[in-house]
């Protein structure tokens, strides 16, 4: 029932890329009906929910909660999952039942590391603590073999092909020169989330001094590395991947091939999430923020839309990070050039959302809302330029500021650094741009779809799409 709840929600939201399935046949009964049935199957006393199926039902319901926009239920079922896995000892393979076979062993490994990544992801997007820790995780990575080679009798050996590679990953079975499995890309994504765990810790420490406790973490941890340093290491790991995980060709309808494209798309999304979290800890200027947002949008725009729709609702929160970056630019002082650049990026983002939102009910109308926001600001800018200001001589410190405190309804910006005609001889374009800076009134940003004021949020980088 939990699987059906998730699949029904994904089908309703357009995560179908093949004519093999028809959306109309998959959306009834609705996701909510399956969700309720799964919920009702749990005993009132959670201690009686023994066995592997209850653990993975909780995990799947947590993911279905994201799909359906029920974030409190995400936290509820994640919490139930962590309670059950603690009682069952899922974090340590030595505590697993001795009579389980090869298939359930691999299923348990996949479940454990799947929800490890979900825990890190949820902490970044919605705040809260990280309950999974890689240092406490005594569970091997899933074997990098396709499902048909994992049988009740043990692990099979795929036939050798010219595309085979030699690889070893942790303590999983080592197979020399075997074909690349899609699980290799899946495990690499888990590697990225393990890196994210430590990046989140380093970033959260910026706020830990506010709780009045004595600082102790510096006794054990070196100084955090910068975004360029971390990304250099990560991108070298990425470059070492087989080419199947660095390319996203169009979907074919052949699952054996498209699984690789999906892993590639997921890797790209996770790489961009890592980069956004790293940058959230650094002070960067307007130009750098625009560069980063533009690069992130460029990556997503090159991925075939079918893969993006397959990632479905969670992708909106990745895009929320880009919206947060651009929103922080819109809040600050802008020049005409910087506004035009942000405006272009916002419209590119609206285009990307439009490609995604067909059937995706959590983002329904998101692209139009973003375009309407840009239209409002455009109108405000046009009106502001019609107002005739006299510009006084610049003060001794070089600043040239005219304060005009009027309501935006009067179509005059509260703080304006107005255009002053052609620059005097000897002024560079950069100086002119600085002298013509302005600040948008906060009223124009009240409908911004991503939180801007993060001062009262435990989430250091709010990516949630509202």
Q: Between 182-208 and 255-280, two packed helices, what is the crossing angle to 10 degrees?
A: 20
pLDDT at 389: 40
Q: Which two tokens stand for residue 85?
A: 């896995």
- What does the pLDDT average to over 419-433? 42
Q: What does DSSP say about strands 154-155 and 415-416: parallel, antiparallel, or unpaired? A: unpaired
pLDDT, position 359? 55
Q: How does DSSP classify residue 150?
A: E
Choose among 362, 370, 300, 299: nearest CA to 14: 362
**Which of 106, 268, 274, 260 has the alpha carbon at shortest distance from 185?**
260
pLDDT at 33 over 80: yes
Does 272 score more than 80 pLDDT?
A: yes
Alpha helices, H only, 18-70:
23-26, 31-40, 52-67
176-218 pLDDT per residue, tens = 456 899 999 999 999 999 999 998 888 777 666 666 777 777 7
d(CA 189, CA 194): 9
* Cα→Cα distances 147→104, 128, 144, 165, 347, Å: 12, 35, 9, 19, 43
Least confident of 177-186, 217-226, 246-255: 217-226
pLDDT tens-digit readout, 309-364: 888 777 777 777 787 788 878 888 888 888 888 889 989 888 888 877 655 555 55
- Look at residue 226 in the predicted model and tell me its pLDDT: 81
CA distance linking residue 370 with residue 367, whole number of Å:
5
Is 123 strand, coil or helix? Answer: helix
With 0-12 CB in 10 A as exposed, 13-18 as middle and 19+ as buried, what is 319?
Answer: buried
The three-class DSSP label of residue 92 is strand
- Amino acid 175: pLDDT: 44
Q: Mean pLDDT across the chain, nearest whole number?
A: 78
The partner residues of 165 in beta bridges, in order of sequence, read: 178
């Amino acid at each position: 029932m939990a699987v059906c709840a998730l699949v029904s929600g994904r089908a309703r939201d357009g995560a179908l890329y093949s004519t093999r399935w028809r959306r109309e046949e998959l959306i009834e009964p609705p996701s909510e009906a399956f969700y309720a049935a799964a919920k009702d199957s749990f005993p009132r006393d959670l201690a009686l929910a023994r066995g592997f199926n209850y653990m993975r039902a909780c995990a799947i319901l947590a993911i279905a909660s994201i799909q359906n926009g029920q974030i409190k239920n995400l936290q509820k079922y994640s919490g139930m999952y962590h309670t059950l896995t603690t009682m069952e000892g899922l974090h340590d393979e030595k505590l697993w039942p001795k009579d389980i076979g090869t298939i359930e062993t691999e299923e348990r490994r996949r479940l454990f590391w799947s929800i490890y990544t979900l825990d890190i992801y949820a902490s970044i997007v919605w705040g809260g603590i990280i309950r999974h820790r890689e240092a406490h995780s005594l569970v091997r990575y899933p074997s990098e073999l396709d499902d048909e080679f994992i049988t009740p009798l043990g692990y099979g050996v795929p036939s050798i092909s010219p595309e085979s590679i030699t690889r070893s990953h942790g303590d999983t079975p080592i197979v020399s020169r075997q074909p690349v499995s899609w699980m290799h890309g899946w495990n690499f994504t888990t590697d990225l989330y393990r890196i994210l765990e430590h990046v989140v810790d380093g970033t959260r420490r910026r706020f830990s001094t506010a709780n009045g406790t004595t600082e102790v973490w510096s006794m054990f941890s070196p100084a955090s590395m910068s975004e360029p340093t971390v990304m250099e290491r990560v991108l070298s790991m990425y470059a070492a991947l087989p080419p199947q995980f660095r390319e996203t060709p169009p979907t074919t309808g052949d699952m054996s091939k498209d699984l690789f494209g999906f892993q590639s798309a997921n890797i790209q999304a996770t790489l961009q999430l890592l980069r956004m979290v790293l940058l959230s800890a650094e002070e960067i200027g307007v130009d750098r923020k625009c560069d980063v947002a533009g690069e992130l949008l460029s990556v997503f725009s090159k991925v075939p839309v079918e893969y993006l729709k397959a990632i479905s609702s969670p992708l909106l929160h990745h895009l929320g990070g880009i919206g947060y970056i651009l929103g922080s630019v819109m809040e600050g002082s802008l020049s005409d050039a910087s506004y035009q650049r942000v405006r272009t990026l916002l419209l590119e983002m609206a285009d990307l959302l439009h490609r995604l939102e067909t059937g995706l009910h959590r983002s329904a109308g998101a692209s139009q809302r973003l375009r309407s926001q840009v239209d409002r600001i455009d109108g405000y800018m046009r009106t502001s330029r019609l107002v005739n200001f006299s510009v006084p001589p610049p003060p001794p410190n070089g600043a040239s500021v005219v304060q005009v405190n009027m309501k935006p309804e009067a179509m005059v910006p509260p703080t304006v650094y107005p255009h002053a005609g052609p620059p005097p001889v000897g002024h560079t374009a950069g100086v002119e741009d600085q002298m013509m800076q302005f600040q948008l009134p906060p009223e124009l940003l009240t409908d911004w779809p991503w939180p801007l004021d993060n001062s009262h949020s435990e989430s250091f980088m709010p990516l949630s799409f509202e």
